Chain A
Amino acid sequence: MLLDARTIPDGAQLETDLCIIGGGPAGITVAHALAGRSTRILLLESGPDEYDDPTQSLYDGESVGLPYYSLKFSRLRFFGGSANHWGGYCMPHQAADFEARTWIPHSGWPIGEMDLAPYYPRAAELVGIDTTRFDLDWWITQDQDRPLPFDAARAVTRVVQIVRQNRRGFRFRDDLQDASNVTLCLRANALEIVTDDQGRTTREVRVGTLEGARFSVAARAFVLATGGIENARLLLASNGQNPAGVGNDHDLVGRFFGEHPRFGAATFVPTDRAIPLGFHFPHRASLSTIEGYIGLPRELQRREELVDVQILMQRELGPSFDDAVDAPVVRDALALPRNLTQGRLDEFGSHLANVVGDLSTFQQFTVPGAPLPIPYPELVGEVLNRNTADRLELIPAIFGDLAGAAYAQLYGAPITTAIFRTRIDQAPNPESRVALGTERDAFGMLRGQLDWQLTDLDRYSVRRTLEIIGAEIGRLGLGRLQITFDADGQAWPEDMSGGYHHAGTTRMSADPRRGVVDGNCRVHGLDNLYIAGSSVFPTVGSGNPTYVLVALALRLADHLGTVLS
């Protein structure tokens, strides 16, 4: 059933078995997994079905630490949540991600890889990937491209799958709407979680609409699934009974904010520009799209006492191809169908003329008057005299920008250099945190304040990882790695950003003094409040959060199914 919160009378008291707060991937997964059962579910989603700026503005907040994205837009606040701008990258955490590593303070999960393993097949269906295989050996059998031939004791390639664009929505709205036991309530903003006087049981959640109505929802259990910043903010702001907020007896809520920091840290200059690097960029393999990240083997990380740093390559094409890909005529060609369907024949004509002109580029290099389009002898000689990469560089110049862009799209283009961008599994840091700010949103709730911080271990790990990979690249004769990251300086690179991967702010631990939730994602000290999403990750991990959090949400749904039945 679909419900618009604006139709609920002011002061109403709703009652259900399970109240899920947040209609993003985590909340939707829990509801979807329990759809069709006897448990009554009310899913509260702050936004409508599409982007709505007044609702989105509720995310606005202040960033006082390392430079970070605008908090207003680092998550999307409408049904489907941040899956609406998801990049579709999927990789599970590795076994080592769950382990307590002595050299990484606060590391270790109370659950292990095998606890999530049964849920990955279903998670794969929900996120839209075709297989749960991530082992490199298997993918090599499916792929024409090959990873760089590292010695497995020195460097490794890890496979990440990328969900096709048209499958990334994660909405499942029809499924939820059709389920007899699920009510999807849009435009319902959770304002406060209210516990009993002892703070042992969650009694209700107070809800408001931007139009001014207020109502409450009582339930046997609650799942908070509003993202890594909002989960903490709502718990902290729910301070009616306890000034520290809900679930915050040990001052852990909001702390340990983690990300996958990424920045250009090195430049790879191949010895031969024709070295095949295609495996390390997004490409088709069998029916899937995959990409190979570069990292260190876990045993080496253990010996070197490093956090996990994965490397993503960002290629810089040969200049001719770079220009071709960005050439105006490419946009003209892409605009042709639109011009035609919109009846803009004047633009269609001028764009078509440009396209025809570009496609006839080769004609100016052919011998005039020859009945067949044979190239000038000097052009043939030049092409034959060049090496493979330089020869390829001539494609846009000889055949035009469209041909160059098409070639780059289909086969990749000669690469002059590749930027090595980091993807750090940042060390858990209690000083990296989400807190309440001083400004208030439209409901009068204190806005979130993010103080993102990294540690010296992160810095050292980046440098050392690059040194090891660079040495391996040199040993193989593949080229040189110019490390641009200044590990000795205090400042982080200006281009540093996150991956919109918010983790750690309601971290999981078996010990209430070390974590906000237990191994079943239940908030310590409260018998019916659960948290879903990457905010429970004690470490961000090497995998991509969405795939892992969906598996974890399925596991939570399993647990709730048992508890509530």
Chain B
Amino acid sequence: MERADAGAKRTDQVVVYAGIPARIAAYFVDAVILSLLFFAVLAVLTLVIGPTVRFVSPLDVLRARVVVDPGRVVLDALVTTALSAAYFAFSWNRMGASPGQWLLGLRLRDRRGRIGLGVRDALIRWALLGPPLGLIAVIVGTLAPLLRPSAIAVAAVWQLILLVTTTRNERKQGIHDRAAGSTVVTSSRLADRVGSDGGVAAGAP
């Protein structure tokens, strides 16, 4: 997949690294969009191949009326994880920002300072952002329910690690950014209004 020319412009001017509040806000917008997308896709899936959650009978007054199909849960998790990967990889590659980042005026730059990431780097960045850990938590939780809290805890700790490494880095690069060679920069004043505390560097790549 080729990057868009518009996103390949070299920016030798002053670069403002996006601050944490703006990046979290962008992530929240993406979370809302993705959640709605998943809901719609799973609704279609339910119509096509049947429900994941079943009710023994609407009139049944006994307990345990809500039954979850564990196999379907894993399938659903695979579908949503794949959708998540496609959502981010496509938008970072083709638009230089996820929809949430775009709305908040943030852009991703690659190692060379160009707007947008290659597919490989985009997938690396996405993977290290944590969604695969969510998939693992679902699988572990389905196979061994007692381990589910531990798997969820690992995923939560990973998010914390990303937050800390991003905050402490001069160029606001968390582990995921460093692995993918990406930096998140601002492209408009909107991010400032949301609350940028990013760093400033002259001619940074």
Contact = CB atoms under 8 A, between A and B. Distances in A.
A409 B30 CA distance: 38
A394 B66 contact: yes
Contacts of B51: 376, 378
A357 interface: yes
Nearest to A380: B39
Q: How large is the interface on A (under 10, 10 to 19, 20 to 34, 35 or more residues)?
A: 20 to 34
A396 B65 CA distance: 11
Contacts of A385: 58
A319 B35 contact: no
B31 A371 contact: yes
A365 B53 contact: yes
B81 interface: yes
B65 A377 contact: no
B42 interface: yes
B34 to A, nearest CB: 6
B138 A369 contact: yes
Contact of A319 (B31, B32, B61): B61
A153 interface: no
A549 B66 CA distance: 53
Contact of B35 (A365, A370, A386): A370
A381 B174 CA distance: 40
Given A319-B61, A382-B58, A372 B35 contact: yes
Contacts of A397: 63-66
Contact of A369 (B30, B52, B77): B77
Interface in B104-135: 131, 134-135
A360 interface: yes
B73 A368 contact: yes
Contacts, number: 92
A320 B58 CA distance: 13
A151 to B, nearest CB: 33
Specify the main secondary structure of chain A where it touches its partner. helix
Contact of B61 (A365, A372, A377, A416): A416
B80 A370 contact: yes
Given A370-B34, A397-B65, A377 B42 contact: yes
A393 B76 contact: no
A394 B80 CA distance: 26
Contacts of A368: 73-74, 76-77, 80, 134-135, 138
A377 B47 CA distance: 10
B158 interface: no
Interface string A342-373: 00000000000000110010011101111110
A396 B138 CA distance: 22
Contacts of B200: none
Contacts of B134: 368-369
Given A378-B46, A397-B64, A367 B39 contact: yes
A368 B81 CA distance: 8
Contacts of A367: 35, 38-39, 42, 76, 80
A369 B35 CA distance: 9
10 contacts: A319-B63, A323-B63, A360-B149, A369-B38, A371-B30, A374-B36, A374-B38, A376-B46, A376-B51, A377-B46
Given A319-B62, A371-B27, 4 more contacts: A367-B35, A376-B51, A390-B58, A394-B66
